[in-house]
Structure formats: C-alpha cells, structure tokens
Amino acid sequence: MTATIDTQTTPPTTHAGILAWVTEVAELTQPDAIHWCTGSDEEWAQLTASLEATGTFTRLNADRMPNSFHAASDPTDVARVEDRTYICSVDERDAGPTNNWMDPEQMKDLMRGLYAGCMRGRTMYVIPFVMGHLDAEHPMFGIEVTDSAYVTVSMRVMARMGTDVLRRIEELETAGESPQWVPALHSVGMPLEPGQADVAWPCNDTKYIVQFPEERMIWSFGSGYGGNALLGKKCYALRIASVMARDEGWLAEHMLILKLTSPQGVTKYVAAAFPSACGKTNLAMLKPTIPGWTVEAIGDDIAWMRIGEDGRLWAVNPEFGFFGVAPGTNEHTNPHAMETIRKGNSVFTNVALTPDGDVWWEGLENTPAEATSWKGEPWTPDSGELSSHANSRYCTPIKQCSILADEYDDPRGVPIDAILFGGRRKTTIPLVTEARDWNHGTFMGATLSSETTAAAVGAVGVVRRDPMAMLPFIGYNAGDYFGHWVGIGKDNDAAKLPKIFYVNWFRRGDDGDFLWPGFGENSRVLKWVIERIDGQAAAVETPIGHVPAPGSLDIDGLDVTEEQLAQALAVDADEWRAELPQIQEWFEKFGDDLPAVLWSELDTLKARLDA
Ligand code: SAT
Ligand code: MN
C-alpha cells in the first residue's frame, strides 16, 4: 500500500523553459504521476508517510527525535560513486586528467536508453530549489526532477526549495532578467511493472552521475544516496558551480565557514577545506576549549566565495542543512551537532535503530544492549560487526543549530580572513603551517593529500592527492582550476585576500597514537592562526612555511607536553624529501596545463629543503 501524494494536473508555473523541460523528461521517463513540490509542512507529512508505507522510513520516537526518520539504503548504495561520475565537457581536454569523461552526445544517447520508461509505476517529483539565498543578487536556481520521495524529503532539508523559488524565477523572468536555472534529472532507475511491489530502497546496479558543464546540466541515474542523488549539493554547488566560478571569476569550494570571536570581541571568519569525513563538520561547529573564545557556524561543507567591492573575499554557504557523517559524532566530538540533531526534523540513513525508537551509531554515548543494524539485522555490542555504516549520515536543518551565526542569512556572506587546507596524514604534515603568500598557499592546496575515508566507495586509508579537497568535485580540468586559483591571487590585492594555512589534526607519534587531541582543542590552532593574521603570534620559518614558535601555540591546561607539541609541529626534512617525487608525479599528470608558478613553488621547496 502506498500513501498518496497530491499530484496536480495543472503545473503551477507558466515558465515556458521549465515546463518544456519537465514535459520532455516526463515523456522520456513515463512516470505515473507528476508532483510539483511546494515545500510545505503538509507536503513533508505526506511524503514521509508515503516513505513509511513503502518501508523506506521508520518514524523515530517523538520524545527522543521529533518528526524524524530512519532509513536504510540498499547495502550496495552507500556512498558517492566516483568511478561512475563523469564530466561530459564537449572537449575531453576540459575534463582534465582527474575526471572521467565521455562525449556528451554519446553519454546522452546512452543515458536516454536508461531513462526511457525508468519512472514507470512511480511519481515524478519536480523540486524547484535555490542554492544560496533567494534574494541574492543573482540567485542560483535549479530544478531537480526525481522519482525518489527520499531524495525529495532530503532536498527539503538541504536546500531552500518549493513554490517561493518558482515564484522568484517567474518574477525575474517577467522583469526581463532571464534567470539561469540548472536542470537536474535524477532517477533511482527501478521502474515498477503494474502490480509489482516496491522495495524499501530502489536503485540500479548501473549508476551514472553526470555533469554537462557547458549546458550547466546534471543527469544522475541508479543511486539514491547523498551526493549521487541530492543534486543541489556536490553536483551543482561544487561541480557545475566551479565551472560557473571559473567563467565568472569567483570560487566554488569544498569548505566550511566559521565565525570566531576572541575574548576581546574581535571577530574573524575562517573557511576550511578537508576531504569528506575528516572532521569538517566538527570543526564547523567547534566548541572552543580555550576560555573566552566562541565559534559560530555558517557552513559545514560548501563555500561560494566572491571578491567584494572592498577587495576582500566574501563567502556564503549555499546549503540549508547539514549532511554529516554520523559515526564518531557525540557530545564530546560535536556537542552542537548533537543538540541540532536532537531538535528533530531529521533523516538518518544507515545508522542503527534502537528498540525504543531512537538512532545509534558507533561513538555515540549510551551504547544500547541491542539494536537493529543498518543492514536490518539484530545487533549487540558483541556482534563483532558495526551497527552503522562508516558513511552513515544525519540530515538536519541548519536553522536548528543554536550556534548558527546571524550572518548565515546575509546574502552578501562574510569576508574571509583565513583559509585552512587540511587532510588526514599519519606523518610528515605538521599540525599547522602558514603559507608565505597566496601562490605558496595555492601550492599547499594543490598538493593537499589525505588518507581515503568511507565517504566514497573504494579502499580506505590510502594516501591520495586531494587538491583543495576538491578532487572528486572539480567540474573541469584541474590544471585550469589551479590556474584559476593563481589568477585570483594575481588579479586582486594580495593584502586583502585571506591568509592560507595547512593543518593536520591526524599526525601520529612513534607509538601510533595521535599527537594532538583534536576536536574542541583545535580552537587553540585557530587562535594561533588569528594571532598570526593580527601579527601577534610568533612563528619559525621552515622550508615548508611558518610553524608556531615554541610557546606561541596556547596549550595552557591541555594534557599535551611541549615535547609532544614539538613532534606534532616538526618539519622532518627526510619525510618531506620522500614527498617530493610524489608531488612531482602528481604535477606531471597535468602536463602543460599546470601553471608554471606551481612548478616554481616545488623548485623552491626542494631548494629550501637542501639549504
Ligand atoms: O554524499 S555526500 O557527497 O553528499 C557527502 C560527502 O561526501 O561529503
Ligand atoms: Mn563534503
């Protein structure tokens, strides 16, 4: 039995372009019904009820987690599928060496074959959405068409969507502004024959996540999960937006945005890029351990940054929710996230379900004596298996975050003072290093490396280069992307641009233990960063940049000795020499497309290590 959704027969828009596209998609995919999303509470209630009816959702105990739901995906559909993700630029060269590429017309032929009749037996949801503010100078619209109610519900958490968006597009159209909108087509790829029962998590073994950069268009097929299916997030706000940013002179980056206020009331804004599942969300909502300092959140995953009239780099978070990794999230690692989640209105995917109707995951307090694992099997702490998938997620409205900065609602965003690049490395990379200048910072970003995590399908723990933490998200030739970064430095007043730092919370000592406690204690590193910008903290120059001078990083009251800190900050010339051929090999991938400036930075690094 399926609960019914209102399906209007008359589309609620007169926008010819949108109507034509939706009609074309419906003719190709053959849905039983079309529902234009309003974004209302009633719609949420209907959709979540229909998801309960199909067994996709289990409603959680309202006393613990009001208006919230548990979902378990198909065990084969648990993360972004990078090997199935394509940048279909007209010219193969424009996809560059880090992306999969196929000729766009060939890809469209192939995918039209997959899409033909793929929504039979299902409702097609039309989701008008905007990434960023509806009242931005140029609102960044999109229309996602999907046959997944799960995706529709999740999109309502993650993006501003619904009738208001449609009205704004029409308004601008009427004013003669022809606002751009990104068509984003998604199907789980599992049509239903008449009488065929649905499964809790429909998907298809054949998956394609495809960006057409010239057309600013997204086609996704076969997966219902996260970044593969919520097309406003990685596909639009990073891959397609990075192409727009290249063409228009701004930056679309995989960065959190936070506001830091000192005991003296001085406010700074920090943007930070880390690969998925490296603690970015924790840093975004950090609870400082040093007295008098406060952190407010603005974004946890994506930053769009434009040079303002004042010459500074202004950032907005284009998203409306948090899509955070659940395992490891708890009262210690991220108390603000826990508080945000507990307010409800959330969707949990691939975590465990407790007998009293709550969710649980590894690392959360109060381990239950028994639970149902993400695979739907009975689980106890002695099961010898994880209760939750390592990439299981909470999906929660950002407005519930009690430390959300007021500036979140400002369409102009915030002026960024510091950019941090970070990865997960057991060795070599110090706790914090300050770049000498913008180009050196671009070199740090371009050579960023990290041990892989469960956020993408594939081996975990392997060191890979992840430039600006954007490897799976750069929508064009990464060589050109580095050139774009260099260009931002060249075309603007360096004194007004943010200072760049490289951090590594994950360095380990000889005993294999972490050298730095991380989490709330990372506020100490932020404090040093801010004090550097204000010319207050001391640093020593090393071949790789400036690291904190002894005594300059505040470890007052912390259970870390000066010796441990020295190890965390050490620049080991031999480790770095071992890194050089890897960087060389990485750069060679880009051939002539790598900006010469980055080769000079590598030469400088070599020379400094030998000096
Ligand atoms: O699945 S998502 O791509 O949305 C999450 C992530 O990898 O950061
Ligand atoms: Mn991310």
Q: For residue 470, how far is its CA from the centre of ligand 2 (angstroms)?
A: 9
All domains of the chain in start order, with CATH: 16-56+81-248 (3.40.449.10), 252-319+407-610 (3.90.228.20), 322-400 (2.170.8.10)
Beta carbons of 179 and 172 less than 8 angstroms apart: yes
Flag whether the pTM goes above 0.90. yes
Q: For residue 163, how far is its CA from the centre of ligand 2 (angstroms)?
A: 28
What do you get for the CA distance between the two ends of the chain, in Å? 74
Beta strands in 358-415 (DSSP E): 359-360, 371-372, 378-379, 393-397, 414-415
Beta carbons of 358 and 64 less than 8 angstroms apart: yes
Question: Bridge-partner residues for 299, per DSSP?
Answer: 257
The predicted structure's pLDDT at residue 4: 60
The predicted structure's pLDDT at residue 460: 83
The predicted structure's pLDDT at residue 145: 98
Q: For residue 275, how far is its CA from the centre of ligand 2 (angstroms)?
A: 7
Residue 375 token pair: 């695979």
Pocket mutation for ligand 1, best pick of 73, 80, 211, 347 (most atoms within 8 Å of C-beta): 80
CA distance 203 to 191: 10
Say which DSSP state 139 is in: -
Question: Bridge-partner residues for 259, per DSSP?
Answer: 269, 296
- Which is nearest to 89 in space by CA: 202, 271, 216, 206? 216
The predicted structure's pLDDT at residue 1: 37
Which-ligand-closest: CA of 234? 1
Beta carbons of 160 and 130 less than 8 angstroms apart: yes
CA distance 143 to 242: 18
Residue 3 token pair: 């609960």
Each residue's pLDDT tens digit, 370-393: 999 999 999 999 999 999 999 999
Question: Which alpha helices (DSSP H) does 465-543 contain, by range?
Answer: 478-491, 522-533
Question: Bridge-partner residues for 348, per DSSP?
Answer: 70, 394
SS3 category, 47:
helix
CA distance 280 to 103: 35
Nearest alpha carbon, ligand 1 atom 8: 276
- Which is nearest to 497 in space by CA: 487, 509, 506, 483? 487
| CB contact set of 437 (below 8 Å; sequence gap of 6+) | 489, 494
Q: For residue 572, how far is its CA from the centre of ligand 2 (angstroms)?
A: 30
CA distance 310 to 610: 41
The predicted structure's pLDDT at residue 456: 82
What sign results for the dihedral spanned by CA atoms 531, 537, 542, 543? positive
Angle value at C-alpha 499, between 497 and 502, nearest 5 degrees:
140
Amino acid identity for residue 162 in this structure: G
Question: Which alpha helices (DSSP H) does 391-501 contain, by range?
Answer: 438-446, 478-491
CA distance 462 to 459: 7
Tell me if 479 is assigned to a ligand binding site: no
Amino acid identity for residue 446 in this structure: A
> Look-up: residue for tokens 């995951």?
361
Residue 231 token pair: 């097309």
CA distance 1 to 506: 49
- Which is nearest to 303 in space by CA: 419, 188, 142? 419
CA distance 483 to 501: 19
Q: Write out residues with Cβ below 6 Å of ligand 1.
A: 80, 226-227, 233-234, 276, 323, 455
The predicted structure's pLDDT at residue 209: 98
Helix/strand number for the chain, H first, E second: 15, 31
Question: Bridge-partner residues for 404, per DSSP?
Answer: 297
Which-ligand-closest: CA of 225? 1
CA distance 254 to 271: 9
Pocket mutation for ligand 1, best pick of 323, 389, 450 (most atoms within 8 Å of C-beta): 323
Which-ligand-closest: CA of 302? 2
Nearest alpha carbon, ligand 1 atom 3: 227
Residue 480 token pair: 């050109």
- Which is nearest to 335 in space by CA: 505, 519, 504? 519
Tell me if 282 is assigned to a ligand binding site: yes
CA distance 270 to 414: 9
CA distance 429 to 47: 47
SS3 category, 412:
coil
Tell me if 331 is assigned to a ligand binding site: no
Active site residues: 278
- Which is nearest to 452 in space by CA: 82, 1, 182? 82
CA distance 332 to 283: 12
Q: Which of the residues in the chain have pLDDT under 50?
A: 1-3
